Amino acid sequence: MKDKMNMKRIALIMAALAILVTGCSKGKKYTLTGSLETANFKQSPDSLVLVSDDLPNIYTIPVKDGAFSFSGRVVKPIVATLKEPGKKVVNKPIVLEKGTITFENGYPRGTPLNEAFYELSQQVKETIRANRENQEAIPEALSKLYRDYLTQHSDDPSAVIALMSARRYMKPDMMSELIALTSKSVQNDSHIDKIKLELRLRGAM
């Protein structure tokens, strides 16, 4: 009798451990690394905050000797923001996805979607430089870049970051057209909701 009860207890313990291990391993691992310098943070906080509508918690990341590193898991790629504690402004948007994400010159790099946005950002900079003498041509030139990118990435999180970037350069009507190129999930992202509200107030949506 005692042996049977012991066997049941062992079975229950093993089942509980299996559930725990499965829960801990759920999702794909990402690692976020960098320094205050490579991430272009102007201040010297002793911690940073990682925030996302799709994360279960707000994560505080310690900064030691100016460097930081944090690992977690995501079921699918999501948009997150890395910022200084207490700051409301969006500082560093990131796509959290499988792999090691390393900040270089203010940009998250090293994983497919972060690399894709990095390439776009470099094309944007080059286009602005090429049209330095003709400022009025910049919005139209950039519009093509963003259109091409959003057509290819209409339903992934990097589209959210691309639209956040485009907001700096696009006229309201152009911005509305860019948003319309993306999927419903991108359009319903909280960052894009704020952009749409601004556009409505300006009569562009």
- The span from the CA of 181 to the CA of 202, in Å, is 20
Cα four-point dihedral sign 185, 79, 113, 24: negative
Distance from C-alpha of 134 to C-alpha of 112, rounded to nearest angstrom: 34
Where does a domain end: 51, 73, 108?
108
Query: Taking the chain (205 residues) in consecutive chunks of 10 residues, what is each chunk's mean pLDDT?
Result: 52 44 67 95 91 93 96 96 81 94 96 98 96 90 96 97 95 95 96 94 80
Q: Verify that 121 and 96 share a domain, yes or no.
A: no
Print the domain residue range for 155.
113-201
Q: Say if residue 103 is in the same domain as residue 119.
A: no
Model pTM? 0.83
pLDDT (tens digit, 9 = 90+) per residue, 41-59? 988 899 999 999 999 999 9
- Residue 122: CB atoms within 10 A of its CB come to 11
| Structural domain ending residue among the three candidates 77, 108, 139 | 108
Lay out the sheet containing 107-109: strands in order across: 67-74, 28-35, 99-104, 107-109
What pLDDT is stored for residue 43 in this prediction?
A: 84
- Please tell me the predicted confidence (pLDDT) of residue 22: 37
Residue 27, SS3 per DSSP: coil
Q: What is the DSSP letter of 110?
A: S
What is the Cα–Cα distance from 109 to 104, expressed in whole angstroms? 7
Domain annotation covers residue 14: no
